[in-house]
């Protein structure tokens, strides 16, 4: 089962599909970690909010055709950890590391 999951994740991610990213995020997240799309969150004073409270979890952004644009880790509303940016073909463009909204 683990081999099947890994193979499926590789196939979906290679194609750069948003669904592949969501699939891998779902299986790689802790059970209490949220994954939200950027349009579901509020953004004020350089901080992300969900339902009026600082958001903790992962934010994904995608292009209209479904290709993944970026993936951000957020803690208490601030970027914290890796932010990944992707080309239209689904390949990784760059990774930026953040600590409480400051790029390292």
Could you report the per-residue pLDDT of 71-83, keeping only the tens digit for each? 999 999 999 999 9
- Residue 68 banded pLDDT, cuts 50, 70, 90: confident
How many CA atoms, within 13 angstroms, populate the side-chain half-sphere of residue 93? Answer: 13
Mean pLDDT along residues 20-29: 47
- pTM recorded for the entire structure: 0.65
Q: Provide CB contacts within 8 A for 98, sequence distance 6+.
A: 73, 78, 79, 80, 81, 82, 83, 104
**Taking Cα atoms as reference points, which of 48, 73, 58 lies closest to residue 22?**
58
Q: Provide CB contacts within 8 A for 91, sequence distance 6+.
A: 16
């Amino acid at each position: 089962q683990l081999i099947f999951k890994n193979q499926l994740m590789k196939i979906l991610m290679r194609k750069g599909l948003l669904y592949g990213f969501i699939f891998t995020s779902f299986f790689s997240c802790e059970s209490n970690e949220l994954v939200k799309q950027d349009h579901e969150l509020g953004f004020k004073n350089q901080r992300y909010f969900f339902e009026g409270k600082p958001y903790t979890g992962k934010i994904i952004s995608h292009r209209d055709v479904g290709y993944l644009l970026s993936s951000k880790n957020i803690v208490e509303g601030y970027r914290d950890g890796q932010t990944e940016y992707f080309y239209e073909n689904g390949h990784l463009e760059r990774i930026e590391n953040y600590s409480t909204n400051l790029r390292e």
